[in-house]
Homo-oligomer: A and B are copies of this chain.
């Protein structure tokens, strides 16, 4: 499995993805699931992937035009005029890759599937955040649904629902995402550190702060331990149930 979240804030967007891939429980590896595309000052695009690793790597390679020699590469994703067109390109590429591999050999319908969170901004347009389905179609985030999750989404959802605020600072948003990831990691073996993140400030149209939270990251440990204590304290502060006959 996987866990990735992309959120929209007033001041930009924050993306976070784990790096664990597994095929069964005894074949685990670390792979980057976050990919960025950039024309500095003109566009910044971030993609995060969940699902079949061969599918998602093929999609990224095709978008980077790695089928061509280095000097002949002019990735379309760096030339399209709007984020909507970028989402269409990513969606159709994803759909084609799945269709290609599903055509021969194994027919299991979920096996080659993948889902993608795509966010970014092209100069002159607004920052936009999309969730792209294996069928190639997609939905866009808005004020009512300002974040998307893919992969193992349930454990980390309650805190996102309750603590998200569009006016958050990037520092608070990073904390929120780390709490959400920590809840997921605590409950599910298939999601694990390190975590990749990208903090994109609105209208910069360039890659913002890219980083990785490593396994022994002291801030993550502070959050993970602190959140356990804070949860128990918060829980203790609520009034106890009164038994009907007491």
- 1/0 contact trace for A228-246 toward B, CB 8 Å? 1011111101111111110
How many residues in A have their beta carbons less than 8 Å from beta carbons of B?
44
- 1/0 contact trace for A161-189 toward B, CB 8 Å? 11100000111101110110001001100
Which of A26-34, A113-121, A150-158 forms part of the interface with chain B? A150-158
Determine how many copies of this chain the complex contains: 2
Residue A145 lies at the interface, judged by CB distance under 8 Å to chain B:
no
Of residues A209, A211, A238, A239, which shows the largest number of chain B Cβ atoms within 10 Å of its Cβ? Answer: A238
Given the known interface contacts A158-B183, A158-B187, A244-B209, the answer about A230 and B237 at a Cβ–Cβ threshold of 8 Å is yes
In the complex the two chains form, what is the Cα distance from A160 to B172 in whole Å? 25
In the complex the two chains form, what is the Cα distance from A74 to B18 in whole Å? 56
In the complex the two chains form, what is the Cα distance from A234 to B163 in whole Å? 10
List of 7 A-B pairs having minimum Cβ-Cβ separation, nearest first: A154-B154, A174-B241, A230-B234, A171-B240, A158-B183, A234-B234, A163-B235
